[in-house]
Chains A and B, each alone.
Chain A
């Protein structure tokens, strides 16, 4: 049992330890720490997507519906009622999971899949976007400056970054755990062939719903951190383009591959920041255009994404650690 637990906890620990050195390596430069924080958030969201998109094979384009809902709830509870995000984030996770239940239950119950599933989730983001214009109004909300662990807001970004690393570690472990558990095999069977999976007795509705709600609750939980890292929220938090971006990371990384998705998230985020920093003023949207090209290229030439490269690397590292053939 020990080897089994270490197999999904150890990689997460390695990521946390390696990640924790980043602020020291960049000399606590706040720009880089914030960039690291945003990368970790995007990687966590993309890895949560991997559960519904990668393992279960459902092209979900609604990630920022759940991030926005959970995040705005936790932020509003804090600013309006002084409720700590430690509670608010769990409530956000609960509300996002509930939304996922009400969306997913009928969709899976009535056998909506493939393109129709993708469209429904894309429509969900637009619906929340438009409804929130009516509810929140069309302006940006800035969070009043409060400080301390009670609010999970600090003068500098390091503490929040360390906190987000713990979330990332949790999401990585959860992914690895799922991929080696019964549920994971069920989900992959559903991805490969739904009819066959149902024929061998897998309750496909139940497991798809479970995957969707797990994904949504992680996103609802991260929402608060995402909004704090953006410093503001509004109806624009329900972002269709970003939701597609998350799916792009998942596909470019390789469906169902934890190392691939993680690597893709980091690479794309760094490329994005680099291009935005150097050409953003001249050519806004250039990085997204390139990611579109990348997605087309991966789809045509390498549907398995980065996973074959990163999996080989992970194997090598494992062999180093365990000192034998993996």
Chain B
């Protein structure tokens, strides 16, 4: 039996919403990789850590998960800055394999910390102000998903604005372009790196708050988000907000359609197969410039 066209339409719409949230998740990773050249394998695990934190906060404060971003964003900026100083700065300029290894270690610590503290069962926040559907005839819209998609888009565009239209953004882009010349021009590269890494991690705190308005936390979502966000960067190429958004939405829609048409159990396999094949033929990404 073929699924109805309504079901497919619904699935595409959910995929698009999910895609916008993915773009927010990938934004921090893209910044850290693009500006600092740091390969952060623990990015997804910060989203996982944030999700648990939001779960605890929202349940104990009896409030909506998205409001918890007021706490998670500054907290994660601090955590990010601390991790940068303690772990990332010492391996700057070392061979990529060592950098990857160190961040794999961070991810491994976070994942097993979560396993130790919360066990493997998935946790969801029960209280949500936006946990209802609006029926639009052909499709119904889950308000929490819609809100998280819109907020994600807003933040992605905001960060894009910050990078392209402000002095700090100019300094960040100059550092990304050539950190030696940037430092000769009087830019404090160390501070920019601290800022970018802190910002990258604080964005995971924000993404986690939005994720928890409809999603669940378990110790392994970090691995999936980590790989998925890397897939998005591989497809999108670096440097463009349009590439990031387009590839996020492609990944979101592929994943959502796979869940509807094939099976939820292979919802990651299909995007990863696409990823590997794209790597073969377009190492610069689908939307990256040659």
Residues of A within 8 A of B (CB): 57, 59, 103, 106-107, 109-112, 114-116, 118-120, 122-124, 126-127, 130-131, 133-134, 138, 240-241, 244, 247-248, 251, 255, 283-286, 288-289, 291-296, 298-300, 303
Contact = CB atoms under 8 A, between A and B. Distances in A.
A284 B119 contact: yes
B280 A106 contact: yes
B116 A299 contact: no
22 contacts: A59-B97, A103-B276, A107-B276, A116-B234, A118-B100, A120-B275, A123-B275, A127-B273, A130-B265, A130-B267, A131-B266, A133-B265, A248-B104, A248-B105, A283-B116, A285-B113, A286-B112, A286-B116, A288-B111, A293-B105, A296-B105, A299-B102
> Secondary structure at chain B's binding surface: helix, strand, loop or mixed?
helix
Contacts of B276: 103, 107, 120, 123-124
Given A107-B280, A119-B230, 14 more contacts: A110-B281, A115-B39, A115-B230, A119-B227, A120-B276, A126-B227, A133-B266, A244-B108, A248-B104, A248-B108, A284-B119, A285-B113, A299-B91, A300-B90
Contacts, number: 142
B283 interface: yes
Given A126-B268, A134-B265, A303-B94, A296 B116 contact: no
Contact of B96 (A114, A251, A295): A114
Contact of A115 (B100, B115, B224): B100
Nearest to B108: A292
B104 A112 contact: no
A298 B280 CA distance: 33
Contacts of B39: 114-115
B97 A255 contact: yes
Interface in B27-80: 39, 41
A154 B110 CA distance: 40
A286 B283 CA distance: 38
A197 to B, nearest CB: 15
A116 B283 contact: yes
B23 to A, nearest CB: 18
Given A112-B280, A115-B100, A299-B98, A289 B116 contact: yes
Contact of B283 (A111, A123, A247, A293): A111
B139 interface: no
B263 interface: yes
A299 B115 CA distance: 24
A103 to B, nearest CB: 8
Nearest to B267: A130
Contacts of A120: 275-276, 279
Given A296-B105, A299-B98, A123 B113 contact: no
A308 to B, nearest CB: 16
B256 to A, nearest CB: 16
Contact of B263 (A122, A134, A284, A299): A134
Nearest to B262: A134
Given A110-B281, A119-B227, A284 B109 contact: no
A173 to B, nearest CB: 26
Contacts of A283: 116
A112 B219 CA distance: 30
A266 to B, nearest CB: 20
